[in-house]
Chains A and B, each alone.
Chain A
Amino acid sequence: MSESFVDNDQPPGDPAEALRLIEEQRAAALRHIHIDDRWWYWPWGFAWLIGFGLLFLRFGPDGRVFVDLPEWLPVAALIALLVGAGVISGLTGARAYGSVVGESSRRGAYYGWAWSIAFTGATVILVRVSDALPEDLRTLVWSATMVALTGALHMAGGAIWLNRTLFQLGVWISVVNVAGVLAGPGWQSLIMCVAAGGGMIVFGAFAGRWRRRVTA
């Protein structure tokens, strides 16, 4: 056997060294095995910030047009950004659970399926009723339904992993969503852009910092 094998079979020099060894190794493992929380939150945060921002600029309150974008652009951009965020979440999940097997990866897989199935179901329902809705309510109903689902799934995630931040984010999204619906078309986009999108980005930044502090 190599010399390093003989060396690393020795006990740590003193308690301080043992503790340092433990802390360093745990930090290294967390860096390798666990994914930075921003990979979960930021793709969705930016998708909402940009997508709803464009919606607000094109379809403002009371039919105002702040920036004369092509009519199809804001919705197309929002959908593309959301699909992109979904793909990133899927890849992040695969990376997070790729080499860890067991309860966490099963939870992650079930949770991923819950998102896909719930969103597919809601899309089918909305496509079915969309044409019967007055035009100004269409965007409002679409986004409010999807965001309500997102809020509920974040709260459920908080319950699954006993993660307070995730649960609070779900509550925040749900409250902001209702506020947007009450404010009405146009304002809803602004509220979603700033409060939900911006809120998600802020949550992502803090979630990472909280976790790093807890495990430090």
Chain B
Amino acid sequence: MTDAPLDPVIHAQARLRVVAALSTLGTGDQIAFPRLQDVLRMTPGNLSVHLRKLEDAGYVEITKTHRGRTPMTLVALTNRGRTAFEEYTASVRALLQPPDIKEKA
């Protein structure tokens, strides 16, 4: 697995940050779009573009709903997205380890 190329969907600074931030949510939890934007300090347009790419890959799920009369966009990491993030993190860590430790691990 460690020799496989890094997941191109996540291997972009902005999307890596989006997925890393979403990974701190519990499974089954969604975060409001403006709050995510706050956390990431991205413009709405920029964040939307990256979320769409992640959604196309099946890594995030975007739900449009209402709280009262206010429309609300909720974002969540899918199981597939969580797995992809964990694998990416593991691959990166493996790349950082000296080869002799990598073999033992």
Contacts and interface: CB of A to CB of B under 8 A. Distances in A.
Interface of A: 1-2, 4-5, 7-12, 15-16, 18-19, 21-22, 25-26, 28-30, 32-34, 99-105, 215
B80 interface: no
Given A101-B74, A104-B29, A33 B14 contact: no
Given A5-B49, A99-B32, A100-B31, A16 B21 contact: no
B4 to A, nearest CB: 14
B101 interface: no
Given A5-B46, A28-B21, A102 B35 contact: no
B20 interface: yes
Contacts, number: 104
A21 B23 CA distance: 13
Interface string B18-51: 0011111111111110110011100101100100
Contact of B92 (A10, A18, A29, A99): A18
Contact of B29 (A8, A21, A26, A100): A100
Given A29-B20, A33-B39, A15 B29 contact: no
A7 to B, nearest CB: 8
Contacts of A34: 24
B44 to A, nearest CB: 12
A150 B34 CA distance: 36
B46 A99 contact: no
A21 B17 contact: yes
B23 A103 contact: no
Interface of B: 6, 11-14, 16-17, 20-32, 34-35, 38-40, 43, 45-46, 49, 74, 76, 88-89, 92-93, 95-96
A21 B16 contact: yes
Contacts of B16: 12, 18, 21-22, 25
Given A21-B20, A25-B20, A11 B96 contact: no
Contacts of A19: 89, 92-93, 96
Nearest to B16: A21
The 6 A-B residue pairs whose C-beta atoms are closest, nearest first, are A103-B28, A99-B35, A102-B29, A8-B14, A25-B20, A29-B21
B32 A33 contact: no
B102 to A, nearest CB: 12
Contacts of A5: 14, 46, 49
Contacts of B49: 5
